[in-house]
Structure 1
Amino acid sequence: MTDPTAGVQVAETTEGRQHFSDEPTGRRDKAIEGRSPLQIALSRLVKDKLAMVCAAVVLFFILVALFAPMITSALGVSTDVVRSCDVLECNAANPGVGYPKTGPPFYGFDAEHPLGLAPRTGADNLAHWVEGCRTSLLIAGSATLIASLVGIVLGLTAGFAGGVVDKIISFVTDFFLTIPFLLAALTIAPIVIERYSTGDSYATAQKVSLIGVLALFGWMGVARLIRGEVLSLREREFILAARVVGMPIHRIMLRELLPNLTAPIVISVSLMLPAFVAAEAGLAFLGIGVTGSPSWGQTISKAVPYWSNYSLYLIEPMLGVVLLVLSLNLLGDAIRDALDPKTRR
């Protein structure tokens, strides 16, 4: 005989099994939820405490550069020269020169001039520091953007086209690598000074020429890196499939190759930017960089003779350069590790 409760038991068993299997499946779906490579890299970067500290420092410098005029106006400081015996130690033979009469190391803290005043000029050091940050990031950021765009375009073209095009671009890249950067800067600077020294656009011409020099001798590393990556990608199945279906070359380069080059591009930019910051400060220190507007390198050059008696004057811009360059380099290393799928943390 058929047990009248059998169907009920089977139904209950089936319901129980269904209830038992639903919960683990939901948990498994959440556990194996797919994430893009960028999301994985961002999650790894956020977990890196050192990278977050460096990112905060870089963000601070960026905000200072963006809002430099508002900061100096709010604090009531200025880069104007004040050769007055009210703020500087004067003497009858040479009035208006000497060390400031306010702030350390000779006097107590002055809230109106937190970082003190510059010797001989009486200009506020905080204003020079803020404007110098603006100048450094403006020049380094612009040069990095231009050099990256040039390097990406030439690297993509050389790697994908191959043949004669690749040989020509590679020759041009190697040629620029043989030209000393400092020698080119020393050659271009006098030309710019002689051409625009008497005009109102002298400061702008200096910045534009320095950006041009940095970008002109900074794109080669990006181009060689992108070319090597493209040479390894152009024979992959998805590129061959795109060619078979008749996809235009520019579409293959922009929609298929370029997204796969995100990691090397980001790494190159993160390493190029601090190098350009240091280069700008070094050129200004040598007197062939930006001299028509406040700059960290220019302040360092002026502060060297006062190191023994007024070390704060030299430490302030040096601290800015070191903090910015170190933070950018460490952040670049962290981004490289986060984007590298072989790295385990």
Structure 2
Amino acid sequence: MSAQTAGPETLGDLSEEPSQPDPGSKKAEVIAGKSPMRIALGRLAKDKIAVVCAATVLFFLLVAVFAGQICAIFGVSTATVLPSQYLDSLGGGLPLPQYGPPNGGFTMDHPFGIAPLSATDNLAFWVYGARTSLEISATATLFGATVGIVLGLVGGYLGGLADKVISFFTDLFLTIPFLLAALVIAPIINQRFNDSSNYPRIQFWALIVVLAGFGWMPMARLIRGETLSLREREFVQAAKVIGMPTRRILVRELLPNLAAPIVVATSLMLPAFVAAEAGLAYLGIGVTSGISWGQTINHATPFFETYSLYLWEPMIGIVALVLALNLLGDAIRDALDPKTRR
């Protein structure tokens, strides 16, 4: 033989497993798996718009929570003072120049100016208006989301008659105009409880009931649709086979898999309730016996030409809060969607 026959080819270099990196090394940290929530939070942290909106929402939350302390720092309050000492009776009830705009500059005693006709401090009313708006909208969102989640889960999982009844009431409430229902309910409450000593709190909770009672339907329809697809999955069928109770299946198996749509729907429900609360207060059928941004806008409308700042202050607060909540809700939806590449 002119050439030596080569030996059998070995595949050792192909069959051998690659060496695993040290668990404590930086390379292992890079390839370590991440939970869906961690991935979503990482996406949100990289989204500049989401970060700005989250900071804006946090600012309004701090203002609402520490409204009393903020007013104490600036030395202002919501108490009604003697208007004749602060207002120009010959100038249409506008503040005197030494007490701020529109006829004078800003002062530290009243950083946002004072209200015409009543001489109340605008900063105090703005701060407590933020508290009222967030308190009502957050409570209504909690109740509305809870009702929608429960009805959507029950209807989507049980099906049959239960689903038909829940779907019927969902469609029925969707056909009732929200503003018309508020216009009908508010006079009844005013007439029934107007003489009560707890009328402000009654009006507060009545508004929450109206907002939640006519705001749970989108959540219910969303959860029902997701539940209809999830109830046919293998893990739900396996839970049925081993005899797991229905309540446990709903709470332990289905509900955790609905976290993403619930978070998204809730984040979009909150700004809608903020705008609705301000709109109802402006129309005089919301919070009329307390402090509200909508009430301030209603009082400031006649002074738009002579004292526009009085109107712009609550308007800017509503627009900034609603816009931040809406954009943050969109960012949360994109961050929780595994198909989104950002």
Same fold by TM-score greater than 0.5: yes
| Alpha-carbon distance, 1:275 to partner | 0.2
In structure 2, the residue matched to 1:72 is: 71
Q: Hey, what's the Cα distance between the residues in 1 that align with 2:27 and 2:67?
A: 51
Q: Deviations over 1:231-287 (max 9, x none)?
A: 000000111111111111111111110000011100111000000000000000000
Q: Hey, what's the Cα distance between the residues in 2 that align with 1:116 and 1:197?
A: 32
SS at 2:84 equivalent: coil
Q: Return 5+ residue gaps in structure 2 as ranges.
A: 1-15
Q: Hey, what's the Cα distance between the residues in 1 that align with 2:27 and 2:253?
A: 32
In structure 2, the residue matched to 1:285 is: 282
1:44-63 matches, cutoff 5 A: 44-63=43-62
| Alpha-carbon distance, 1:196 to partner | 1.9
Tell me how many residue pairs correspond in the alignment. 324
Question: Aligned pair in 2 of structure 1 residues 108, 29: CA closer, same or farther (>3 Å)?
Answer: closer
| Alpha-carbon distance, 1:22 to partner | 5.5
Q: Hey, what's the Cα distance between the residues in 2 that align with 1:138 and 1:27?
A: 46
In structure 2, the residue matched to 1:274 is: 271
In structure 2, the residue matched to 1:339 is: 336
2:172 counterpart of 1:169: no
Which residue identity lines up with residue 32 of structure 1 in the other structure? I
In structure 2, the residue matched to 1:195 is: 192
| Alpha-carbon distance, 1:23 to partner | 4.7
In structure 2, the residue matched to 1:160 is: 157
In structure 2, the residue matched to 1:186 is: 183
In structure 2, the residue matched to 1:143 is: 140
In structure 1, the residue matched to 2:304 is: 307
1:239 is matched with which residue: 216, 236, 240? 236
Which residue identity lines up with residue 55 of structure 2 in the other structure? A
Greater Cα offset, 198-207 or 110-119: 198-207
| Alpha-carbon distance, 1:72 to partner | 1.4
Question: Aligned pair in 2 of structure 1 residues 27, 69: CA closer, same or farther (>3 Å)?
Answer: closer
Q: Hey, what's the Cα distance between the residues in 1 that align with 2:101 and 2:119?
A: 14
Q: Deviations over 1:194-236 (max 9, x none)?
A: 1222222111111110000000000000000000000000000
Question: Aligned pair in 2 of structure 1 residues 23, 217: CA closer, same or farther (>3 Å)?
Answer: closer
Q: Hey, what's the Cα distance between the residues in 2 that align with 1:269 and 1:142?
A: 12
| Alpha-carbon distance, 1:97 to partner | 6.7
| Alpha-carbon distance, 1:79 to partner | 1.5
1:249-268 matches, cutoff 5 A: 249-268=246-265
Q: Return 5+ residue gaps in structure 1 as ranges.
A: 1-16
Which residue identity lines up with residue 32 of structure 2 in the other structure? E
Which residue identity lines up with residue 251 of structure 1 in the other structure? R
Q: Hey, what's the Cα distance between the residues in 1 that align with 2:288 and 2:65?
A: 21
In structure 2, the residue matched to 1:130 is: 127
SS at 2:89 equivalent: coil
Q: Hey, what's the Cα distance between the residues in 2 that align with 1:190 and 1:297?
A: 18
| Alpha-carbon distance, 1:289 to partner | 0.5
Q: Hey, what's the Cα distance between the residues in 2 that align with 1:51 and 1:87?
A: 43
Q: Hey, what's the Cα distance between the residues in 1 that align with 2:336 and 2:78?
A: 42
In structure 1, the residue matched to 2:95 is: 100
TM-score normalised per structure 1: 0.91
Question: Once superposed, what is the RMSD of the aligned Cα atoms?
Answer: 1.8
Q: Hey, what's the Cα distance between the residues in 2 that align with 1:213 and 1:227?
A: 23
Q: Deviations over 1:101-147 (max 9, x none)?
A: 12122112211000000000000000000010000001000000000
2:109 counterpart of 1:118: no
SS at 2:165 equivalent: helix
Q: Hey, what's the Cα distance between the residues in 1 that align with 2:76 and 2:35?
A: 48
- CA contact 1:97–1:121 (8 Å) conserved in 2: no
Which residue identity lines up with residue 45 of structure 1 in the other structure? L
SS at 1:319 equivalent: helix
Q: Hey, what's the Cα distance between the residues in 1 that align with 2:66 and 2:316?
A: 20
Q: Hey, what's the Cα distance between the residues in 1 that align with 2:254 and 2:19?
A: 43
- CA contact 1:280–1:297 (8 Å) conserved in 2: yes
Q: Deviations over 1:288-322 (max 9, x none)?
A: 01011110000000000000010000000000000
| Alpha-carbon distance, 1:90 to partner | 2.0
| Alpha-carbon distance, 1:67 to partner | 1.2
- CA contact 2:148–2:216 (8 Å) conserved in 1: yes
- CA contact 1:83–1:97 (8 Å) conserved in 2: no
Q: Hey, what's the Cα distance between the residues in 1 that align with 2:52 and 2:143?
A: 28
Q: Hey, what's the Cα distance between the residues in 2 that align with 1:196 and 1:164?
A: 39
SS at 1:117 equivalent: coil
Q: Hey, what's the Cα distance between the residues in 2 that align with 1:320 and 1:230?
A: 38
Which residue identity lines up with residue 67 of structure 1 in the other structure? F
| Alpha-carbon distance, 1:24 to partner | 7.6
Which residue identity lines up with residue 328 of structure 2 in the other structure? L
- CA contact 2:74–2:108 (8 Å) conserved in 1: no
TM-score normalised per structure 2: 0.91
SS at 1:81 equivalent: coil
